[in-house]
Amino acid sequence: MNSLRDYQRKRNFSKTREPAADDVTASDRRAIFVVQLHHASRRHFDFRLQVGDVLKSWAVPKGPSYDPQVKRLAVEVEDHPVSYADFEGDIEHGYGKGHVDQFDHGVWTTAGDAEAQLQKGHLRFELFGTRLKGGWHLVRSGRKERQPAWFLIKAKDAFAGDVEADDLLDAKMIRSTRAAAKTAATQAVAKKSIARKKPIPQGRKAPRLRLAKAAAALDGARAAPADNAFFKPELARLRDFPPDGEQWLHEVKWDGYRILAAIADGEVKLWSRNALPWNDRLPDIMQSLASLGLRSARLDGELIALDGHGHSDFNGLQQTLSGEAQPPLVYMLFDLPYFEGNDLSRVSLLERKALLQQLLAHAPRHLAFSTHAIGDGEGAFRMATEQQLEGIISKRVDSAYRAGRGDDWLKIKRLESDEFAVVGYTPPKGSRNGFGSLLLARPDPDVASGWIYVGRVGTGFSDEQLRQLGETIADKGSRKPTVKLTAIDPLLRDARWVKPAAVAEVYYRGIGNKNLLRQPSLKTMRTDKIAADLADSDRAAPTPAGKSAAARRKSSTKTKPAAIVISHPDRVVFPDDGYTKQDVADYYTSVMKWFLPGVVNRPTSVIRCPEGTAKACFFQKHLIQGLKHVGSAKLKEESGAQATYIYPLDASSVIELVQFGALEFHPWGANIDQPDLANRIVFDLDPGTDVAWARVVAAARRVRKLLAQLGLESFLRTTGGKGLHVVVPLNPGCPWPQVKDFAHAFASTLAQAHPLEFIATASKSQRKGLIYVDYLRNSRGATSVASYSLRARSGASVAMPLRWSELGKLKSGHDFDIRSAPKRLARQRSDPWAGMDELRQGLDDLMGELG
């Protein structure tokens, strides 16, 4: 297998726009594939599959063929970084010179270990793209070649047909082919690709009209308009024993994510049980549902990954959704409350399931029918226990489909487990990293929005779950419990408490005499749920009418500021763009939950522009008369005198400062309670005149690489101006003199090693054509712009934290602004800087390594 060292060795990243090899993949997306049409010295298609953290790559001269009888030569080439999947455009110099178009992209799956199959020489897989679909094979050739040769072959399935890659080119790719045609052979290829145009083969459609007529004739069916909006699912209550009688049917309790599918006018939309859209995460399920050829429907089921024994594997599902594995996913369907213009919610469950079974009779294998047995609940539960399944779901055969939790659906689990809110953690001991145990709570039935402590869980965590803890706990927390304590536990003396947010599912051996869980162990972190969902527990009575999950979630959020009146809301503060003072307040309100962690309890200077950016703006760091919602603390200044500094306490502090004309926020790299200990280092990469943006990107990667060689993990942020910030967290913190000396030495070492790229002196006269590594922000009292802060300049740009994998997509340090930043955050599933506060690293013994 090739490594990314080969990829990096063959390229000069100061001359090519291709992404560097040290980009890392995001952790919140499926394993992807991409096919790129490459007009190099010889036209070919680059076929790439993500395996782990790289794209395994093959050059396919004639492109993929849908004909199973055709074996297409695929020459194995060096592995590429995952970020290469987004690359298009010209490679202007060196290796691979020529134009690149993206032919297709999507997700891919395989039953079994991908690397093991590649080592054996035969990979069986499925593609879910726009142009390439269905099953495929990569088979290693027995011929001895300079580079390993494979054959790319289409599997015999419903998508097979007489279609070639050149039949599927769009107008853009045809233009590129014509433009690159210089020889007689390439001109012939261009002529052929223009002349041929064939549709992508489609799978077998369901007998829609016959089933629609059958649905309309069912007792209780009603004609109703279709829509593909979210619909509330029916939920089950937990019971200790299955019900008796023939009026009950029993299904396997699948261990996965509840997914709702809604189809209108042929358009499929997938929703989580909490009304979050899932289309982008499940293109395989989307394509499978679309292949049914339905005009309108609502389907209810569970998204699962199957293990080697055919059982649903929840951890495997999470690994697949995060890109760590590629097993096929299955949408296990168990209800059909709406079908082809007919509301079937009042039709008996047994008849709904019979119609659903007919619909899925010839469906793709990613759609499956959840079978059932009628009567003998005890026998069904015994079978589930013997097969080590999670349990069963028992449902009344004649029941309607009713939103919410009722007694028509019952849940019986083989192992005693439940879901609890994570409300804190204990510190690690010994060799343990991150934390000792998670603190758990359940909703307090007697207190609205209240929680009761039920114990702690410290076993059952995988290394990956330990790593992801930073994404499930919002901040470091406080010493004060956020829940009701029913027992005294001496191990909680050093605990840190957080607001209930994340949800953990835990196995346990009953309840002890202090109402604490006995022998709990983690089953999994339920990333598909939030703590507010537990108020609608499967053990509890139904929630009061009118109190939706969304309302509970909103009421539990404390980023909403107090009622602060914005005077002169129509005053234009960004005259070149027309943005008003009210626009600024609305912006900070919309990003508040992301913005607050970077400024709360940190001494913070603000840039105030009371009359707008066209007139005088000034820094303010001391308390002034009229501020009522900000914190204040007396801190020693460099002169030795004390002054009263301001710092944000909460959302109200931020909006009050906006009311006073604040546009930008610049916090210290230290907290107010330990102002002499730095917990952030910021390297500001400030490009001089005539420095191309590609050099700034390369510079950030170089800084990250050098820091990594020193054992320091770093994070990326645009400044909202010309450059980038590389931020190094320090935990538990270092004295400011040590931080200042390290930052100075690091910047000087960088400038000495690369004098044509970097400069470490502040003189602007010497910075032309170079990138200034500004280390002076790393001293007591110095500040850097906060993440998500606006900048007081034309365009109303925003300082935006990013994943390193996003660096290659940036066009400038001011790519995000007051309008685009909230839209990005609305799509963002996790914080790009998640885990920063839990990362333990310092500067001891590093000065010698910098020489």
Tell me the three state secondary structure of residue 354.
Answer: helix
Element (H, E) at 411: strand 404-413
- Amino acid letter, 348: S
User: Angle at CA 198, nearest 5°, toward 194 and 200?
Assistant: 130
List the beta bridge partners of residue 504.
420, 525
Tokens encoding 36: 């790129």
Rounded to whole angstroms, what are the CA distances from 456 to 418, 504, 519?
A: 13, 11, 9
Rounded to whole angstroms, what are the CA distances from 379 to 241, 373, 729?
A: 11, 10, 57
Rounded CA-CA distance 484/452 in Å is: 5
Q: What is the largest CA-CA distance in the chain?
A: 88
Tokens encoding 697: 């990107």
Q: Note if 413 is an active site residue.
A: no
Rounded CA-CA distance 755/550 in Å is: 55
Rounded to whole angstroms, what are the CA distances from 778 to 56, 684, 689, 740, 782?
A: 41, 10, 24, 5, 6
Query: Of 56, 154, 253, 722, which one is the catalytic site residue?
Result: 253
Q: Which residue has the tokens 């079908």?
A: 339
Contact 419, 529 (CB under 8 A): yes
Rounded CA-CA distance 413/415 in Å is: 5
Tokens encoding 401: 């489909």
Distance of CA 67 to the CA centre of its chain: 36
Rounded CA-CA distance 787/729 in Å is: 14
Rounded CA-CA distance 109/47 in Å is: 15
Rounded CA-CA distance 477/482 in Å is: 9
Tell me the three state secondary structure of residue 86.
Answer: helix
Element (H, E) at 178: helix 171-180
Contact 340, 294 (CB under 8 A): yes
Rounded CA-CA distance 558/449 in Å is: 13
Interacting residues of 405 by C-beta distance below 8 A, sequence separation 6+ = 235, 236, 237, 536, 538, 542
Least Cα distance to 356 among 340, 330, 372, 334 occurs for 334
H helix intervals, 591-630 = 592-595
Rounded CA-CA distance 62/242 in Å is: 59
What positions carry a catalytic annotation?
253
